[in-house]
Amino acid sequence: MPIGDSGSSWKSSYLPLEHVLKTCGAKWNYESCGDVYGNGPADSYRIAGAAGTFGLIHPVSSHFCGSCNRLRLTADGNIKPCLYWSDEYNVRPLVGNDKAVQDLFYKALGSKPETHDMVKALKGQQIDGTPTLRHMSQIGG
């Protein structure tokens, strides 16, 4: 997921999901596992004869914002409603006040965006908000 980069260098190495699946299909016979409870936005697949499954998340070529059921709590105490945008809610000052923490989580849930602008960014179009400058390792992703 191309986050944490204020530039556009990710565009030169971006591969759409269709390319990844075509490459996998050239080497292995795989099938979709359908929706797997708990996998969130990942599409799950199984290689014929292999143990386990693999999941692919494709936030740019077919974003999943409308079905995203995730919040992130960062190591420095911020709730992020979306990995892409810079919006965060600091929960640390509220620790010990269960009602205030609960209210902040509900506020974060209510502010989950309907979409992100990665497709616009890929096409060089103007985006509507401020993407995060945090890298996944700083967010907990």
Average pLDDT, the chain: 83
Say what the pLDDT of residue 126 is.
Answer: 79
Q: What is the pLDDT of residues 39-98, one digit of tens each?
A: 677 788 999 888 888 888 877 766 677 777 889 999 899 999 988 888 999 999 999 999
Say whether pTM exceeds 0.85. no
Say what the pLDDT of residue 80 is.
Answer: 93
Q: Take residue 75 and report the two structure tokens written for it.
A: 């190591």
Say what the pLDDT of residue 8 is.
Answer: 64
Going by C-alpha positions, the residue among 63, 41, 39 that lies closest to residue 114 is 63
Mean pLDDT of 109-136: 80
CA 139 to chain centre: 11
Q: What percent of the chain has pLDDT over 70?
A: 85
**Residue located via tokens 């985006």:** 127
Going by C-alpha positions, the residue among 108, 66, 83 that lies closest to residue 3 is 83
Indicate if the pLDDT at residue 5 is higher than 70.
no
Q: Which of 4-8, 98-102, 120-124 has the lowest mean pLDDT?
A: 4-8
DSSP 81-114: S-SSB---EE-GGGTT-HHHHHHHHHHHHHT--S
Say what the pLDDT of residue 56 is.
Answer: 84
